[in-house]
Amino acid sequence: MLMIATNIASADQPELARGASKVATTFLEELGEAMTREMTERGPVEEIIVCTKLAPDLAGRLSRERGWRVTRVGTRVRNPLLGMPDAWEQRVMAGFTERAAKGKPYAGMTHFEIVTEPDGQYFRFMKPIMVQSKCLLCHGSSDQIPESIRLMLKQQYPFDRAIGYKTSELRGAVSIKQPIEDARGGLLGGQDR
């Protein structure tokens, strides 16, 4: 079994990364479209509600469709129960920040590798989420966030730490975790998910 994992690690990681990247891009596009729609139709306070409900629902749907864990983690989290990065995710986000400091744009970055954990081996993938100017309405400094939004955030997220960001800063990442056995099955003609 270790031989199979090694073969996947060396030969097929780019193929797995393409699939994971497609899922991460789908997640970000669908979430962005829904948030833009809510902002336009109902205003920024309603956008918070969409983010509160839609992001976990969307991640759950994509996870069930693929059999992977698809989630969004943050550098500073709004909800400590959802979005708290594990040690591997923290290390990868630190690497994204280092690469950005050297001039590489977040837009083109990803990271993937095979990781051995106590319960098995996993293909892990991350794609950064960069702060855009429209994000500052909910994630900017206190003086950038309108009072109505600050009140809603305090109500929805009493332990919120996801404020004080600046445009082009790393906000977090889409994180994907796939068991190697599932990856092996998919690459060797197994079941599509």
Q: Where are the domains of the chain?
A: 2-182
Name the token pair of 145: 């966030």
Name the token pair of 39: 């902002």
Q: Write down the pLDDT at residue 3.
A: 37
pLDDT band at 191 (very low <50, low <70, confident <90, very high): very low
CATH (one of 3.40.1800, 2.102.10, 3.30.450, 3.40.50) for 2-182: 3.30.450
pLDDT band at 8 (very low <50, low <70, confident <90, very high): low
- 188 has pLDDT over 70: no
Q: Write down the pLDDT at residue 192.
A: 27
Distance CA(123)–CA(25), nearest Å, equals 17
Q: What is the pLDDT of residues 37-94, one digit of tens each?
A: 888 888 777 777 777 888 899 999 999 998 899 999 999 999 888 899 999 999 999 9
pLDDT band at 172 (very low <50, low <70, confident <90, very high): very high
- Evaluate whether 166 touches 131 at the Cβ level (below 8 Å): yes
- Evaluate whether 143 touches 158 at the Cβ level (below 8 Å): no
Q: Is 153 exposed, middle or buried (0-12, 13-18, 19+ CB in 10 A)?
A: buried
Mean pLDDT, residues 135-161 taken together: 91
Q: Write down the pLDDT at residue 184.
A: 59
Which bin fits 189, alpha (ψ -120 to 50), beta or left (φ > 0)?
A: left
Compute the mean pLDDT over every residue in the chain, rounded to the nearest whole number. 86
